[in-house]
Structure 1
Amino acid sequence: MKNQLSALALAIAALPAAHAVDLQAGDWTVTVGGNINAFHTQSSCNQPAGTVTGTALGDAALACGGKDSSTVIGNGLLPSMLNVGAKTRQEGYDIGATIGMGVATATNSAIGQNSVVDVRHAFVTFGNADMGSVKLGRDYGLFGLSPVLSDMTLLGVGAATKATQNGRVSLGHLGAGMVYPGTYGQIAYTSPSLSGVTLDVGVMSPVDAANTASDSPQFQARASYAGQGFKAWAGAKSQKFDPRAASATVAAAPGFTMSALELGASANSGPFGVVGTVQSGKGLGILSDGDQGSNTTTSTFLQATYQATDRVKLGLGWGKSKNDDGAGNALQSNQNVTAGLYYNLTKNLTLVGELGQTQSKAFNGNSARQDSVSVGGIFFF
């Protein structure tokens, strides 16, 4: 089992590179692995709930459960997950399947059942070195996945939004620096690597948001380059949303076509690491496709880390997601700054301490802020 943080981060993308059990049966290899994590997060909010409306991650309505402070002992950016995979080689093709199931740590009840299961992955892949590989099933999208995998708060908490952490997960820099990559039913193709360059293209099941999804699928693409200590990526996605007719309870909404682009890079030199990415597009949304209609949103993320010792990594991350249009106390931007310390107690167990501040601003000048302290750990098996 690999103990590098980068390898551990890949646990959310597909079958984890780190796994505790390999079972060999003839031509088949079955793998079992996953993670358990929990963090004590204490937050304070400096303005009354509703100061900034919409998906305002720093407003008390979402950040502190409508109060001036909150406590959650729950998951960080990753859910606790069990991943099961199987792979074989048949007639010249490498074939593999993965199922990943996540559960939440925190609930608002001491007696209620915590039975909600988050099935993030359920897919099969087939291919070989000459043709590349094809994926069929449910998995993360291509757009936005690289920044999340590069975010140090993948092993921690980041934006400690109570509305999502209680019953699900925290947000890292999602909604405040980057958009969630999402999980889609999909058919995707990954090309063979050519001088370090890989191309991914995918046809995704369309998303229903504030508008009505069209009959046509969503399209995503990503080009990636990996060299010695350097990675770069560029991505795009597009989907048509049909108009929504008015009803007694819901206002009419015009149709639009979501179109977004992404550019990013990461570099490591000795103990130092940096990451930078920008995403921008019409209908991109704060957390999910089209969650703010046709508004144009731009998200920017910057991060610097320092490997102080073999066991200790220090990091500082900043992210901001900004809308172009709005009125009144509607959301103009979310911003998060997180400083973190990540200590490898063992090769499988990382202890984490983070200080975070999430701020939301409205177009009318209102602002709201959440300050948070998170302490906990994550164990990969």
Structure 2
Amino acid sequence: MNNTIKLAVASALLAAASNASAGIMIPAGDWTLDIGGVVNMYYTSTRHTGDDAGTLTAGTNNNGTKTKSNITTGLLPNYLTVSGKTRQNDLDVGFTISMQPGAATTSSLSGGGGNENRQQFITFGDASWGSIKLGKDLGIFASDAILNDMTLLGVGSGAGTLNGTTTLGRIGTGYIYADWKNQIAYSSPNWNGFSFTAGVSQGWNANGTGSPYAANGTTTQAGGSQPAFEAKASYSWAGDFAGKVWVSGISQKMRGIGATAGNAAGFAFDPTTGGSIPVAATAASSGTDDRSEAVDFGGTINVAGFGLTGYYFTGSGIGNQYQFSSGYDALGQARDSDGGYVQATYTIPGVGTKLGASWGTSNLDATSNDARGDVSSEMWTIGAYHPLTKHLNLVAEYSDAKDTVDARGAFAETKSKAKTVSLGAILFF
């Protein structure tokens, strides 16, 4: 199984108390191929209450109460991964290609669902000086936050609102999504537990969707005069009191924030008279430039069956759920954001069942130009993760997510809630 999936499996299994092993190993000439993957499915029941103005629960309850039931994949998509490795000219050379067949909550005569291609990369290096990666893989910034989230094995939030290949887990209620990015990155050797990774990833334009705000209205697409710069460093230790601490960051120059195309003078329909009225020309605007930045730090410890994880992030122009989404207002002013989560787990001796509880929040501050107030999204989750076999885990979770938008001006405070019960299983091979 490739390194990123191994890391995801190992991190998820912190919540499941199961053992991961390599996938299906196949010698092929100079190469050793590894076929691995993940298959999971859950029954979810989500009860929505409150207003329709939340970021995780918007438009789902019609200003009342509504329950949705789904049979869907969880935070991890289904995975099929082929990777290979070899040693040539004193270099360790490898590749990974994966696909993720989804089980979306929408349906159609063609079968519904969705498909993703999250990983296609090559690596080369040596244990003495590290390795270089070129291709598409999990982003560097905030990657440890999601890989240590216990809902990686389950569902978390988003089961009753999304129509994609996965749910949200704790994305947007404790950390920003690391995303899957085209990148060029260097990873150092492991020096007695310390290591670091630094690289550049594809630059993206800011996006105003994903919150009750309407920002610059652009779509998320490749753009910018520079790539994003990302890095992380970590230190791990073993023993009866094992653990890991980490810090990571991201910085990207954003161009043309709040840009408008402008319109020529003309006529527009007058709904009052049914006729036409003259409309003055509007000048085009190139928008403003700014730099989106964020930093995070966290740690996890494990002793005598107990596990404790703590995490915090802060940023400007980065958003609070998906990177660069809702990071700026319509005039190009950056919105500040922060958040984090705490998580406690306990593995029952002799049984292997891991019990866990976590709480987290993600916050987005309004600018002076925003009509509405600050946004806060938080979630409680309790879960049980039982290793039925070495590779198969049964999962039961309950998550209580809440979105709050503070009152401002003519807008009153709004609150929306989504309570989700999920039952299912996840298989690693």
TM-score normalised to the size of structure 2?
0.80
- 1:161/1:11 Cα in 2 relative to 1: closer, same or farther (>3 Å)? closer
Match of 1:315 among 356, 360, 366: 356
Cα contact 2:12–2:148 (8 A) shared by 1: no
Match of 2:384 among 341, 354, 361: 341
- Give the match for residue 45 of structure 1: 48
Cα contact 1:328–1:362 (8 A) shared by 2: no
Question: Alignment partner of 1:46: what SS?
Answer: strand
Deviation at 1:330, TM superposition (A): 5.4
- Give the match for residue 72 of structure 1: 70
Summarize the alignment of residues 158-237 of structure 1 with structure 2, pairs less than 5 Å apart.
158-164=156-162, 166-210=163-207, 213-228=223-238, 229-237=242-250
- 1:34/1:176 Cα in 2 relative to 1: closer, same or farther (>3 Å)? same
Deviation at 1:323, TM superposition (A): 1.4
* AA of the residue aligned to 1:149: L
Question: Alignment partner of 2:291: what SS?
Answer: strand
Cα contact 2:177–2:322 (8 A) shared by 1: yes
Question: Alignment partner of 2:59: what SS?
Answer: helix
Separation of aligned partners in 2, 1:22 and 1:235: 33
**1:117-151 Cα shifts (integer Å, max 9, x gaps):** 21111000000011100000000111111011111
**1:8-65 Cα shifts (integer Å, max 9, x gaps):** 24689xxx9644311002321001010110111101111242x34xxx11x3426899
Q: Name the stretch that deviates more: 99-108 or 35-44.
A: 99-108
Separation of aligned partners in 2, 1:251 and 1:171: 36
- 1:329/1:73 Cα in 2 relative to 1: closer, same or farther (>3 Å)? farther
- 1:317/1:351 Cα in 2 relative to 1: closer, same or farther (>3 Å)? same
Summarize the alignment of residues 266-345 of structure 1 with structure 2, pairs less than 5 Å apart.
266-292=300-326, 293=328, 294-309=334-349, 310-325=351-366, 327=370, 329=372, 332-345=375-388
- Give the match for residue 366 of structure 1: 414
**1:240-296 Cα shifts (integer Å, max 9, x gaps):** 111242136999854321111111000000110000110111012122222112211
Separation of aligned partners in 1, 2:285 and 2:111: 36
The number of equivalent residue pairs is 369
Q: Name the stretch that deviates more: 107-116 or 346-355.
A: 107-116
1:239 aligns with 2:252: yes
- 1:66/1:248 Cα in 2 relative to 1: closer, same or farther (>3 Å)? farther
- CA RMSD of the aligned region, Å? 2.6
Q: Name the stretch that deviates more: 299-308 or 320-329.
A: 320-329
Cα contact 1:46–1:68 (8 A) shared by 2: yes
Cα contact 1:64–1:163 (8 A) shared by 2: no
Question: Unaligned regions of 5+ residues in structure 1, if any?
Answer: none
Cα contact 2:49–2:417 (8 A) shared by 1: yes
Separation of aligned partners in 2, 1:37 and 1:357: 22
- 1:10/1:121 Cα in 2 relative to 1: closer, same or farther (>3 Å)? farther
Cα contact 1:8–1:18 (8 A) shared by 2: no
Cα contact 2:131–2:187 (8 A) shared by 1: yes
Q: Name the stretch that deviates more: 24-33 or 230-239.
A: 24-33
- Give the match for residue 270 of structure 2: none
Q: Name the stretch that deviates more: 182-191 or 364-373.
A: 364-373
- 1:66/1:367 Cα in 2 relative to 1: closer, same or farther (>3 Å)? closer
Larger radius of gyration: 2
Question: Alignment partner of 1:154: what SS?
Answer: helix
- 1:192/1:369 Cα in 2 relative to 1: closer, same or farther (>3 Å)? same
Identity rate of aligned residues, in percent? 34
- 1:62/1:286 Cα in 2 relative to 1: closer, same or farther (>3 Å)? farther
- Give the match for residue 8 of structure 1: 9
Q: Name the stretch that deviates more: 238-247 or 95-104.
A: 238-247
- Give the match for residue 86 of structure 1: 84
* AA of the residue aligned to 1:71: S
Q: Name the stretch that deviates more: 19-28 or 120-129.
A: 19-28
Cα contact 1:231–1:267 (8 A) shared by 2: yes
TM-score normalised to the size of structure 1?
0.90
Separation of aligned partners in 2, 1:91 and 1:72: 52
Separation of aligned partners in 2, 1:303 and 1:69: 28
Question: Alignment partner of 2:146: what SS?
Answer: helix
Cα contact 2:298–2:310 (8 A) shared by 1: yes
Question: Alignment partner of 1:163: what SS?
Answer: coil
Separation of aligned partners in 1, 2:353 and 2:63: 33
* AA of the residue aligned to 1:169: T
Deviation at 1:153, TM superposition (A): 0.5
**1:293-352 Cα shifts (integer Å, max 9, x gaps):** 221110211100000133210000111001122555556111011000001111111010
1:36 aligns with 2:39: yes
Separation of aligned partners in 1, 2:101 and 2:60: 21
